Structure formats: structure tokens, C-alpha cells
């Protein structure tokens, strides 16, 4: 993994006093699912430093701040993994969380602790847990289509914020989308930026990143990564939330990867029983092999399917309201998001982005060094 594609500076104070002096840890880990796949489908995860809240190098646990009694989620990250120093990856994650502070749909970073062996990210606690639980629930407990419309709309707003700030998530899946509450159904929080990258206008990077069922064909083919890579994952995520099935899952990892490469998707009435044609059309606009043909986040937000929700959204929590106040101060300037790499390429997102969504924009300063293609093993 080329460190030049990572952000190396943060503003958050790294506290060095004992974490236990300020927080009481819960016993249970947060996040217990790896994905809708067989244990054999782990090839891509083995090539990533951090893949989920239950990964080999990261553990997330609920904690309580002693002085306030407020609940948070503490993510413990080992700085050395497989004999390599991965502190720069953690710093990159912190920097992206700082950048996304004013997005109401990205988890909020509270503070950071560092010891000789690990770093602890203290973040907002989303009491509703992963949306994975509803994706695989019985029909009477699963999401309704109206639920999915509202949640996908929020996910897209969070992703649009990241993309307009030149960041791609690269690991969007049900385990990385949390809910502020389950009953009533709350708002979403996008989490786990361990694989996220900053992108710029001209350069591209090629890396094997992500979770097998949700990665785009260009990742498997070791082709340039772009914001369109995230949009493929949104398509898979929408499919899973609506049907409870993983569109590309095979009996082996090779079959899963073949299904992705050939875009073998079942859009039959049997799978989408009771689901609108507009929902299927929305998914089809994203699960396209050519990244240039996929709908962008701002285009998705204008799709008729998302506009079909007539009921008002529930009142946002204090964090969302506070962040939306910050949106009013947003700059009207937007920038194009393109492919990452070591040579100039044609961008799949050359159209001027609309500014109908008032999103605070705090672009990264400075320029990235030229990134050389590199296979991560």
C-alpha cells in the first residue's frame, strides 16, 4: 500500500494518558458479522490492513466517559500489523473523520489516545448497531422499501460529502453502516475509514482493497480506483437491503469474483417480489461494469425512486442538526472527483457537480506526490 495516497496530518490532539483514567469499557465487542459470504471468501480481506470492527487488527467496544456518563464507541487499532508499521493508515483514518465532521451521516470523532502499541479512536456511539441485522432479519423485522429509500438517501448524502471533499470510502457494506436507533428506526452513520483514500484530479492508484462481495470489477481487474468504485458498492448495498440476498455471492471466492467480473445479477421477479421497478432501475444504474457509466452520488439523489418517498424524515438528532447548521456556511465551490494514479487519465465524472445539496466543503490542502501503481499483498 503506497503511503503517498494517505493523509499524513491531523488536527486532533493525541492524548497519551491512560485511556482507563477517562473511560470505562464494556465487555461486549461491537459488530459481530464479517459479511454475507462463506469463510473461504477472504482473499481481499487478507490483503487489507483493516477490514471490519472485528478484524485481526481492530476491535471496537462500547465505553462510558467517566466524567459525563456518555456512551461512546472505542476503536482499538494496533500500530504494527504483520511486522509492518501501520500508524500512517490510522492517521489517515483520523484525518478523514476530521474532514467529515460536518456531515450528519458520518460517525463523529470525539478524541484519540495513543500508546506505544496502539491507538484508540473514541467515536460517537450508534445504539442501533449495524444495518446488517435488518438485512438478514425475518420478513416482519426486515426493512420496508420505504425504510431503504430513506436510509439510502442518507448514505448517498454522506458519500456525496466525502466525494466532494476528494475522499473515497472503498469499503461500503452493511457492517459499516450503523443506525442511531432501531426502534424507532434512526438515522445512519457511515463508519470504518481504514481503507479510505484521498483522490485528486489527475493522479490514480491501483490497489486491491475492500470486501469481496462489495468490490467493483475494476478492483478485481487491478484498474484505477475512483469515486465510481464507491457507487458500485452502493448498488450492492441497496440490493442486499431490499432483498436480503447478496447479488454476487458464490460458493467459492473464485465464483464470487467471476460473478462480479461478468456482472451476473439476478433481477428476477422472484427475487424482487413486492419491490418497485424504480428500485430495480436504481440498482441497475449502479451495477455497471464500466465506471464511467455508473450514476454519481448527486445523480442518484435525483433518481425517481428516492423521490418517491412521500413521508417526511424523522427529526434528526442533535448531531445531525448541529452539522446541518454548519452546512449553511458551506462554500459554493465544488471540485471534480476523478481516478487516482501515476499518469493523467480521462475522468468518469467530468460533468459539473450540482450544488443543490448545501454541503460544507473543506478540501484538503496541498498536492499529492505522484503515486506509483502497486499491488498490495
Domains of the chain, by residue range, sit at 3-124, 129-327
pLDDT of residue 326: 52
Write the class of the CATH domain 3-124. Answer: alpha beta
Q: What's the confidence (pLDDT) of residue 224? A: 87
Q: Can you tell me the distance from the alpha carbon of 372 to that of 132, in angstroms, rounded to the nearest whole number? A: 36
Catalytic (active site) residue 171: yes
* Residue ranges, the chain, pLDDT below 70: 1-5, 31-56, 136-140, 201-203, 205, 309-377
pLDDT for the residue 206? 74
Task: Check residue 364 and give its pLDDT.
Answer: 39
CB count in 10 Å sphere of residue 244: 17
Q: Are 45 and 126 in contact (CB under 8 A)?
A: no
Integer Cα distance of 195 and 168 in angstroms? 9
**Cα separation, 90 vs 202, whole angstroms:** 25
- What's the pLDDT at 63? 97
| Residue in 89, 171, 187, 200 annotated catalytic | 171
Closest listed residue to residue 330, CA positions, set 295, 355, 351, 306: 355
What whole-number distance in Å separates Cα of residue 72 and Cα of residue 61?
9
Q: Are strands 177-179 and 71-78 parallel, antiparallel or unpaired?
A: unpaired
* Residues 6+ positions from 315 with CB-CB distance below 8 Å: none
Fold of 129-327: Transferase(Phosphotransferase); domain 1 (1.10.510)
Where does 127-226 have alpha helices with state H? 132-135, 145-164, 217-220
pTM attached to this predicted model: 0.76
Amino acid at each position: 500500500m503506497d503511503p503517498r495516497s494517505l493523509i499524513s496530518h491531523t488536527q486532533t490532539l493525541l492524548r497519551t494518558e491512560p485511556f482507563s483514567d477517562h473511560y470505562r469499557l464494556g465487555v461486549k465487542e461491537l459488530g459481530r458479522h464479517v459479511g454475507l459470504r462463506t469463510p473461504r471468501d477472504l482473499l481481499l480481506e487478507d490483503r487489507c490492513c483493516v477490514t471490519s470492527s472485528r478484524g485481526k487488527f481492530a476491535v471496537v467496544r462500547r465505553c462510558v466517559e467517566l466524567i459525563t456518563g456518555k456512551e461512546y464507541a472505542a476503536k482499538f487499532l494496533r500500530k504494527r500489523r504483520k511486522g509492518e508499521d501501520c500508524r500512517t493508515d490510522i492517521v489517515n483514518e483520523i484525518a478523514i473523520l476530521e474532514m467529515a465532521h460536518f456531515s450528519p451521516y458520518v460517525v463523529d470523532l470525539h478524541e484519540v489516545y495513543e500508546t506505544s502499541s496502539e491507538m484508540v479512536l473514541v467515536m460517537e456511539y450508534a445504539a442501533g448497531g449495524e444495518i446488517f441485522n435488518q438485512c438478514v432479519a425475518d420478513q416482519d423485522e426486515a426493512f420496508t422499501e420505504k425504510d431503504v429509500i430513506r436510509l439510502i438517501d442518507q448514505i448517498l448524502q454522506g458519500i456525496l460529502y466525502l466525494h466532494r471533499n476528494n475522499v473515497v470510502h472503498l469499503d461500503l457494506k452493511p457492517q459499516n453502516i450503523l443506525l442511531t436507533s432501531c426502534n424507532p428506526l434512526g438515522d445512519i452513520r457511515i463508519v470504518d475509514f481504514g481503507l479510505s483514500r484521498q483522490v485528486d484530479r489527475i493522479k490514480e492508484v491501483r490497489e486491491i482493497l475492500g470486501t469481496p462481495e462489495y468490490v467493483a470489477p475494476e478492483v478485481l481487474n487491478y484498474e484505477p480506483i475512483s469515486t465510481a468504485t464507491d457507487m458500485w458498492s452502493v448498488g450492492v448495498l441497496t440490493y442486499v437491503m431490499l432483498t436480503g440476498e447478496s447479488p454476487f455471492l458464490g460458493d467459492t471466492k473464485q465464483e464470487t469474483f467471476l460473478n462480479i467480473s461478468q456482472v451476473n445479477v439476478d433481477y428476477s421477479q422472484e427475487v424482487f417480489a413486492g419491490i418497485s421497478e424504480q428500485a430495480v432501475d436504481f440498482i441497475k444504474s449502479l451495477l455497471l461494469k464500466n465506471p464511467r457509466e455508473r450514476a454519481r452520488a448527486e445523480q442518484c439523489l435525483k433518481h425517481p425512486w428516492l423521490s418517491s418517498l412521500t413521508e417526511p424524515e424523522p427529526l434528526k438528532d442533535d448531531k445531525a442538526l448541529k452539522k446541518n447548521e454548519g452546512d449553511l456556511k458551506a462554500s459554493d465551490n465544488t471540485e471534480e472527483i476523478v481516478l487516482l494514479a501515476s499518469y493523467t487519465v480521462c475522468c468518469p465524472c467530468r460533468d459539473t457537480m450540482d450544488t443543490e445539496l448545501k454541503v460544507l466543503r473543506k478540501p484538503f490542502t496541498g498536492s499529492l506526490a505522484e503515486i506509483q501503481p502497486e499491488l498490495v499483498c
